[in-house]
Structure 1
Amino acid sequence: MRNTSNFVYIATTADTKGQELEYVQRLIAALNLPTRTVDLSTRSLPFDSPADISPEDVARHHPAGAGAVFCASRGQAIAAMATAFERFILTRRDIAALLGLGGSGGTAIITPAMQLLPIGLPKIMVSSMAAGDVSPYVGASDINMLYSVTDLAGLNRISRRVLGNAARQIAGAVHFAAVDYDDHKPAIGLTTFGVTTPCVQALVAELGSQWDCLTFHATGSGGRSLEKLIDNRQLHGAIDLTTTEVADYLFGGVLPCTTDRFGAIARTGIPCVLSCGAIDMINFGAPHTIPARYTNRLRHPHNPQVTLVRTSVRENALMGRWMGEKINACVGEVRFVIPTGGVSALDAPGQPFWDPAALAAFMQALEETVHATDKRRVIKTPYHINDPCFAQAVAEQFRYIVGGE
């Protein structure tokens, strides 16, 4: 059941979107939900704000004070208000949901704060920017981006429908909050890719009776989502099997992690089994999008929109050192389990990416870099990553470090 003492927060720049704010607030209130409206306007000229919480109230949360927000530069003002709104949101303990309304500026202000809210708390951003690349706005969160179709510059026959849908959607999400039927089991996160799916499926089958298994597609945002949940202490362990995002990060692919990959594991000390799934590939779009430096490189068409480029011996050595340094920062129980028989469905005898020398370079660099301890170990197995025996070996290591066996 919903907590009736909490509010649906509605945030926008009311100096330009006051009509929209009042319209949406009335709709949600009519659905028997309490609301709090937040004005994020950045202009310094005074005006009568229709919101419950004024721009000055939010701006005071900026580390440098409200003066950092109400400045001459619009770009600086937007960035400063985004920071202030993030800090404002972190002070609130009464948020049932957050609905944002904005154009380019408002969306840039509101969505960073949305990303700080817990996964599962309803968050909808109605935006004129939602028809383009929304990855910077969504990040690793579960933000629902709703395209406004017309600009949010007054009410009309289109905006009323879109805003009405947004109001009813967020009200429905609050009224009919999902019940977690598996919350009696501790949760673990696993990373997967199409070319490592058999291994992950075997692990879920092996561990699923005791653990709530959450799988994350290793597409850049997938790794960030995994680590967001680790940082938020919502996972009890991790099997970070598919670390292909590192290849894209280091070598210019389209599905990269960030420099903070594995940082949440280090910060929290969560028990984790790592591996090198799909490090044999760098992901790009259609063939014409591949950078010229990879012109003569072995490639494989995954589908018309995705082309895979084989990582080289040198690149594998670089990945081994990069991951090794990250592992050295981990103080909890960490096992890096290597499938010496190949790291993906394409990296196997008779398959297009089979290259034992590349994997050997990775292993050598990793072992030379990692400072092994009782809690931090590199373990080599003779299996291919999709061999059921490898999944069994990973499961055994995981059970050992979490104290299950």
Structure 2
Amino acid sequence: MAPCIAILGTCDTKLDELLYVRDCLLNTHRVRVKLIDAGRTPSTHPAIDITQPTILAMSASHAGPSGPLDVSTLSRNELIKALSDRAAPIIASLAATHDLHGLVALGGSGGSALAAGVMSRLPLGFPKLLVSTMAAGDVGSFVGESDVAMMYSVVDIAGLNDILRPILDNAAGAIAGMARAYHARVNAGTTAASLEKPRDGERRTKRIAITMFGVTTPAVTKARELLARYDCTPYVFHATGAGGRAMERLIAQGFFDGVLDLTTTELADELVGGVLSAGPHRLEAAARNGVPQVVSLGALDMVNFGPRASVPERFVSAGRTLHEHNPSVTLMRTTREECEKLGRIVAEKLLMAREGNGTGQGKTEVWVPKGGFSLLDTKGEGFWDPEADEALIRALKSALKRSGEAGQRIRVVEREEDINHPEFVAGAVHSLARLMQLNPAKKGSVDEQRASGL
């Protein structure tokens, strides 16, 4: 049977465009289609498979039908949220039973927000394509930590013309191709990695999350090389805000068995006001969920901004140390005072295990690279500031010590090397392997590890 694709949109304002995509999918790409109406005013076109009243009859708590919702008094924002919250369980249910193999949506700012709310609740690896008037700007609020693909409509989705038609043709072709690939994986039993925990008696390779930045790439490259000797699969997250949020979400969902959090730089952006913050809950999920973790201080020597002209004037006038990483990224050195705060923040996050069920205690280690936190923070480089680094280290250790028994269960390992030094990385990997009780990937690996200092 051909794959089935859902088309989501506001049929009261964009019916012609939605029907155009529907015809492309049915007649050109020979796939099955479900047209879903998420408009303010219900439409009655015979091509609509799931109507707006059907969506509004769903419970926002995903508990099933709850009776019709009166939308006459809702603001635009409230209506978007109500439709998104109620459409999500319908589409997610069809995806879970493999009755859907892709979702494409068309929208302006409101329609894009509605569709993004639905797409964010679908599994990673399930095809999601959003054709949007907002796709040429900051799309962080639409993509979040999901794998949504966005396509810019160039003109508004308000009437078919010679610009919009080929764009919608391409969108139909893109989602059809993605859906066929996903459909094939479903039939082969090789869909994207399941977020479910293994069933009783089922064995799978252990999964390890790793965080990386450009200035900690050598460390992560070495860590991956060493982890290849164990029965595990590493998943590297780029610490750009969305990367940290995605990792935290997956840890909380039970996807990972261990975490090598070498690069905690997103904490600095959250504290100082950089552009790559992962939000207030970064570095919490592993502690709260009892997941073994080895944490380091990678790139806490810096805060991230866009092009140099985008650095806030208050920092420029204060004479802060800046480094143009590339034309789009400018880095700013964290001060001693900021580093002190970051040390306390790291400690507070790791101590959160005692606020949960306590299972995380004794499963966390902090590896401190006294030789520098990044490629820029080594002797002779532009961000080398041993006093600031020492302020962070001292604040971290002091906060853990003051916490008593809980802090004592968090092992702090201080090393003279910088974070990218092979011996520092080898020690951190070895500790995580011990915490996770990792098995060698092949015969002879143990001897190889001993020979390399592991």
Q: Give me the TM-score of the superposition, normalised by structure 2.
A: 0.82
Equivalent positions of 1:107-122 (< 5 A) are 107-122=112-127
Comparing 326-335 with 183-192, which one deviates more in the overlay? 183-192
Q: What's 1:76 paired with?
A: 78
Q: 1:54 to 1:200 in 2, by over 3 A?
A: same
1:383 to 395, 414, 417: 417
Structure 2: how far apart are the matches of 1:131 and 1:310? 31
Tell me by how many angstroms 1:290 deviates.
1.7
Q: 1:7 to 1:265 in 2, by over 3 A?
A: farther
Equivalent positions of 1:151-166 (< 5 A) are 151-166=156-171
The share of aligned pairs that are identical, in percent, is 39
Q: 1:86 to 1:264 in 2, by over 3 A?
A: farther
Comparing 9-18 with 74-83, which one deviates more in the overlay? 74-83
Is the CA contact (8 Å cut-off) linking 1:68 and 1:80 kept in structure 2? Answer: no
| AA matched with 2:85 | T
Comparing 111-120 with 177-186, which one deviates more in the overlay? 177-186
Which secondary structure state, in structure 2, belongs to the residue aligned with residue 346 of structure 1?
Answer: coil
* Alignment of 1:186 onto 2:206: yes
Is the CA contact (8 Å cut-off) linking 1:42 and 1:70 kept in structure 2? Answer: no
Tell me by how many angstroms 1:264 deviates.
2.7
Q: What's 1:170 paired with?
A: 175
Is the CA contact (8 Å cut-off) linking 2:3 and 2:100 kept in structure 1? Answer: yes
Structure 1: how far apart are the matches of 2:20 and 2:321? 56
Structure 2: how far apart are the matches of 1:29 and 1:334? 53
Q: Deviations over 1:358-380 (max 9, x none)?
A: 12221222223334468633222
Tell me by how many angstroms 1:182 deviates.
11
Structure 1: how far apart are the matches of 2:2 and 2:411? 49
Which secondary structure state, in structure 2, belongs to the residue aligned with residue 395 of structure 1?
Answer: helix
Structure 1: how far apart are the matches of 2:71 and 2:123? 26
Tell me by how many angstroms 1:72 deviates.
4.8
Structure 1: how far apart are the matches of 2:3 and 2:345? 45
| AA matched with 1:252 | G
Tell me by how many angstroms 1:181 deviates.
11
Structure 2: how far apart are the matches of 1:253 and 1:73? 33
Is the CA contact (8 Å cut-off) linking 1:242 and 1:278 kept in structure 2? Answer: yes
Q: What's 1:37 paired with?
A: 35
1:150 to 155, 162, 165: 155
Structure 2 unpaired stretches of 5+ = 194-203, 354-358, 440-454
Q: Deviations over 1:185-243 (max 9, x none)?
A: 43322111111111111001111243322211111111112223323433332211111
2:301 to 271, 280, 300: 280
Structure 1: how far apart are the matches of 2:396 and 2:2? 52
Q: What's 1:302 paired with?
A: 325
Structure 2: how far apart are the matches of 1:52 and 1:209? 51
Structure 1: how far apart are the matches of 2:345 and 2:299? 16
Q: What's 2:24 paired with?
A: 27
Tell me by how many angstroms 1:139 deviates.
0.6
Q: What's 2:224 paired with?
A: 204
Q: What's 1:58 paired with?
A: 55
Tell me by how many angstroms 1:291 deviates.
1.8
Q: 1:351 to 1:252 in 2, by over 3 A?
A: same
Q: What's 1:244 paired with?
A: 265
1:318 to 323, 333, 341: 341
Structure 1: how far apart are the matches of 2:412 and 2:2? 50
Which secondary structure state, in structure 2, belongs to the residue aligned with residue 300 of structure 1?
Answer: strand
Tell me by how many angstroms 1:41 deviates.
0.6
Is the CA contact (8 Å cut-off) linking 1:68 and 1:77 kept in structure 2? Answer: no
Is the CA contact (8 Å cut-off) linking 2:130 and 2:149 kept in structure 1? Answer: yes
| AA matched with 1:340 | K
Q: Deviations over 1:354-404 (max 9, x none)?
A: 112212221222223334468633222222101111110111111011112
Which secondary structure state, in structure 2, belongs to the residue aligned with residue 164 of structure 1?
Answer: helix
Comparing 57-66 with 276-285, which one deviates more in the overlay? 57-66
| AA matched with 1:57 | T
Tell me by how many angstroms 1:48 deviates.
1.6
Tell me by how many angstroms 1:158 deviates.
2.6
Is the CA contact (8 Å cut-off) linking 1:124 and 1:146 kept in structure 2? Answer: yes
Q: Deviations over 1:300-337 (max 9, x none)?
A: 22223222111111111111112211111234322221
2:128 to 123, 126, 129: 123
Structure 2: how far apart are the matches of 1:5 and 1:377? 55
| AA matched with 1:86 | A
Which secondary structure state, in structure 2, belongs to the residue aligned with residue 167 of structure 1?
Answer: helix
Tell me by how many angstroms 1:176 deviates.
2.3
RMSD, aligned CA? 2.4
